[in-house]
A and B are shown apart, each in its own frame.
Chain A
Amino acid sequence: MTGPQRVAGAGEKTGSRVSPLAGSADGVLRDRLFSYVILACALTVLIILFLIVYELLSSSQLAWKAFGWHFFWTHDWDPVNDQFGALPFIYGTLVSSLLALLLAVPLAVGVAVFTTEMSPKWLRGPISFLTELLAAIPSVIYGLWAIFVLVPILRTVVQPFLAKTLGWTGLFEGPPYGIGMLAAGIILAVMIVPIISSITREVLVVVPQQQREAALALGATRWEMIRIAVLRNARAGIVGGIILGLGRALGETMAVTMVIGNRPEIAKSLFAPGYTMASVLANEFSEATGDLYLSALVEIGLALFIVTIIVNAMARFLVWSVTRGQPARGHA
């Protein structure tokens, strides 16, 4: 902070303009006006959330009345005959997000552990900077890269290999298109690594130094120290970071839409194309003809909204319980 001089200057200037004794009634008036304006801004934040909830609820009424809970358990998506079931999208969202977590968590925690516990000091800054840079790349650019670089690699190298070695599990069978659930999971993983690793780093940093020293003094190797003293202490916060990553993965739209194949089917194989809640909205919302169709899409949006809110609230609470109120910097 280089504050003091500058602030002293500002103080003098205002002091000379506003007489401390005269015109105090005017000052009170302006103060009141100012606080109203500021209050209005704060209220706007609440109003926005209210509007989101209201619009989602009112616009999805039609579909809710027509299908009820059934909407979430049936898998017919047939706009022509006005039959709507969201199960394939829910399935696609869950599977792609879980796959992403499976791939991203070890990587993200590894990076966080490396930067806080192992890396030489001069490397810490650059590595954290570069991982944060991953978070700044727009989703549509991830999608572009995935279509033209990742998918061909998957199609020609990774998928034939997986089919040969793990084909018997049933998860890796069928024609290797490249695009499909696997591609979506991988690109999502790349996108959520920075969130999970930055939150994990935050909670690792607040583990008290004495814990580390105590473990080392008892003869632990560095890895044992990390496992016993650091990771165990930060467990809740790491889980929070993972859930925050999940929240991001669930709502991620563009990159997934570009590589998942967009077919409302439920297939066991990860090679098969799928569809997610967010990508069906992206693809069909502006083309939806008919009120029921539109309403069904909004209901998917509503479900997505509710799920992400629950997931994020859980994550924030867990991170908060470790860092004690220092706000978790939101990327979600």
Chain B
Amino acid sequence: MPNPETKQLEISLWRRITDHLATLFAISTVVLVLAPLIAIFAYLVIKGVGSINLSFLTQTPKPPGEAGGGMANAIAGSVLILGIASLLGVPVGIGAGIYLSEFGRNRFGDSVRFVSDVLNGVPSIVIGIVAYALVVLRQKHFSALAGGAALAIMMIPTITRTTEEMLLLVPGALREAAYGLGVPRWRTTLSIVLRTATSGVITGVMLAFARVAGETAPLLFTAFGNQFWNWKLDQPTAALPLQIFTYAISPYDDWHRQAWAGALVLIILIVAAVAAVRLAVRHGTLGGAA
């Protein structure tokens, strides 16, 4: 015979149980999400460290099925392609970001903003097709240049938007103070606004860099890959992610081993690049506020 008071108690017990279940569910999602992360890094380290050796870092690939050889040319090729991409993408991205924050309070600025958000969502494989049509078909060659162009297209929207965001954080009073001293606008923008936001802008550039450094899809039919050394911009060029892909889906155990080693090197390169710039920015050699 439940009187009102115990009924009240029952409901609150039920509510308390639900509350605890919800907490439990949330905690288990965290565990489930972090498990693959830990597993991936553990495998990378375990399988990768055992496979990295001097020949991996200094030699070119051996013919299929033969043990030994390395990915030295792929590492160099990645550096080359990423260099081209940065050279093409970073100035344009920063320039467009400056335009948006300093001159872009209008219709045109809004459309540039919208378009760069759209570009950010374009699948990387589609960008590969476009780079193929624009560069490879004209040159009649797979090339490092085409790969670099594809990656540059992917870097630009990210850099544009982060640069804009960072420059907008610079107080308007600084600009006015500069104008008040008679400093022309271009000088104000470059030496004061951009300089104040340097560390933020560089962080954006590094984000974009880290994002494209591991990209494989847009390189498949632009840089294409190469089993040998190549330093010519208009020739097929090996890249670390491409090599990892080729080796991972191959039937050879030794190539699988090298794929893990390559993956570890790739992750280390990405993390090192980002960390180095973060440190440099923090310790003031590159200056600016953060």
Closest CB-CB distance, A192 to chain B, in whole Å?
11
Q: Is A55 a contact partner of B270 (Cβ separation < 8 A)?
A: no
Q: Is A59 a contact partner of B248 (Cβ separation < 8 A)?
A: no
Q: Give the residue among B21, B40, B98 with the most A Cβ atoms within 10 A.
A: B40
Closest CB-CB distance, A284 to chain B, in whole Å?
10
Interface residue ranges of A236-282 to B (CB < 8 Å): 247, 250-254, 258, 278, 281-282
Q: Is A31 a contact partner of B186 (Cβ separation < 8 A)?
A: yes
The yes or no answer to A316 lying at the interface (CB within 8 A) is: yes
The yes or no answer to A45 lying at the interface (CB within 8 A) is: yes
Partner of A46, one of B112, B161, B267, B287: B112
Q: Which residues of B are found within 8 Å of A133, using beta-carbon distances?
A: 37
The yes or no answer to A312 lying at the interface (CB within 8 A) is: yes
Q: Is A258 a contact partner of B245 (Cβ separation < 8 A)?
A: yes
The segment out of A11-19, A70-78, A170-178, A202-210 that lies at the interface is: A11-19
Closest CB-CB distance, B259 to chain A, in whole Å?
6
Q: Which residues of B are found within 8 Å of A278, using beta-carbon distances?
A: 123, 125, 217
Contact-residue size bin, chain B (C-beta under 8 Å from the other chain): 35 or more
The yes or no answer to A222 lying at the interface (CB within 8 A) is: yes
Partner of A223, one of B18, B30, B184: B18
The yes or no answer to A166 lying at the interface (CB within 8 A) is: no
Q: Which residues of B are found within 8 Å of A311, using beta-carbon distances?
A: 121
Knowing A11-B181, A27-B184, A254-B245, the reply to whether A141 touches B263 (Cβ < 8 A) is: yes
Q: Is A39 a contact partner of B289 (Cβ separation < 8 A)?
A: no
Closest CB-CB distance, B16 to chain A, in whole Å?
7
User: Considering the chains assembled together, what is the distance between the CA atoms of A297 and B220 in angstroms?
Assistant: 14
Q: Give the residue among A11, A18, A41 with the most B Cβ atoms within 10 A.
A: A41
Count A-B pairs with CB separation below 8 Å. Answer: 307
Q: Which residues of A are found within 8 Å of B109, using beta-carbon distances?
A: 42
Q: How would you classify the secondary structure of chain B's contact residues: helix, strand, loop or mixed?
A: helix
Q: Is A38 a contact partner of B98 (Cβ separation < 8 A)?
A: yes
The yes or no answer to A7 lying at the interface (CB within 8 A) is: yes
The segment out of A61-69, A106-114, A156-164 that lies at the interface is: A106-114
Q: Is B120 a contact partner of A330 (Cβ separation < 8 A)?
A: yes
Q: How does the 8 Å CB contact mask read for B270-290 relative to A, with 1 for contact and 0 for none? A: 100000000000000001111
Interface residue ranges of B29-81 to A (CB < 8 Å): 29-30, 32-34, 36-37, 39-40, 43-44, 47
Knowing A133-B37, A223-B18, the reply to whether A46 touches B111 (Cβ < 8 A) is: yes
Q: Is B19 a contact partner of A221 (Cβ separation < 8 A)?
A: yes
User: Considering the chains assembled together, what is the distance between the CA atoms of A157 and B100 in angstroms?
Assistant: 53
Q: Is B157 a contact partner of A138 (Cβ separation < 8 A)?
A: no
Q: How does the 8 Å CB contact mask read for B88-120 relative to A, with 1 for contact and 0 for none? A: 000111111011101110001101100111111
The yes or no answer to A10 lying at the interface (CB within 8 A) is: yes
Partner of B267, one of A38, A111, A141, A308: A141
Partner of A15, one of B96, B133, B183, B186: B183
Q: Is A224 a contact partner of B15 (Cβ separation < 8 A)?
A: yes
Closest CB-CB distance, B112 to chain A, in whole Å?
5
Q: Is B19 a contact partner of A141 (Cβ separation < 8 A)?
A: no
Knowing A11-B177, A42-B104, A138-B266, the reply to whether A285 touches B123 (Cβ < 8 A) is: no
The residue in chain B whose Cβ has the minimal distance to the Cβ of A27 is B184
Q: Is B160 a contact partner of A45 (Cβ separation < 8 A)?
A: yes
The yes or no answer to A134 lying at the interface (CB within 8 A) is: yes
Q: Is B122 a contact partner of A140 (Cβ separation < 8 A)?
A: no
The yes or no answer to A44 lying at the interface (CB within 8 A) is: yes
Q: Is A45 a contact partner of B119 (Cβ separation < 8 A)?
A: yes
Knowing A143-B245, A148-B256, the reply to whether A1 touches B289 (Cβ < 8 A) is: yes
Knowing A27-B184, A37-B95, A42-B100, the reply to whether A309 touches B118 (Cβ < 8 A) is: yes
The yes or no answer to A121 lying at the interface (CB within 8 A) is: no
Q: How does the 8 Å CB contact mask read for A32-49 relative to B, with 1 for contact and 0 for none? A: 011101111110111011
Knowing A118-B26, A222-B23, A251-B125, the reply to whether A147 touches B95 (Cβ < 8 A) is: no
The residue in chain A whose Cβ has the minimal distance to the Cβ of B123 is A251
User: Considering the chains assembled together, what is the distance between the CA atoms of A37 and B99 in angstroms?
Assistant: 9
Closest CB-CB distance, B113 to chain A, in whole Å?
9
| Extra A-B contacts (16), CB below 8 Å, given A253-B125, A301-B129 | A3-B289, A11-B183, A14-B188, A30-B186, A41-B98, A48-B153, A107-B29, A114-B27, A141-B267, A144-B244, A144-B248, A223-B22, A254-B217, A278-B123, A297-B129, A330-B161
Closest 10 CB pairs of A and B: A138-B214, A20-B182, A251-B123, A41-B95, A110-B29, A34-B186, A312-B121, A223-B22, A114-B26, A42-B99
Residues of chain B at the chain A interface (Cβ within 8 Å): 15-16, 18-19, 21-23, 25-30, 32-34, 36-37, 39-40, 43-44, 47, 91-96, 98-100, 102-104, 108-109, 111-112, 115-130, 132-134, 142, 153, 156-158, 160-161, 165, 169-171, 174, 177-178, 181-189, 191-192, 195-196, 210, 213-217, 220-221, 224, 241, 244-245, 248-249, 256, 259-260, 263, 266-267, 270, 287-290
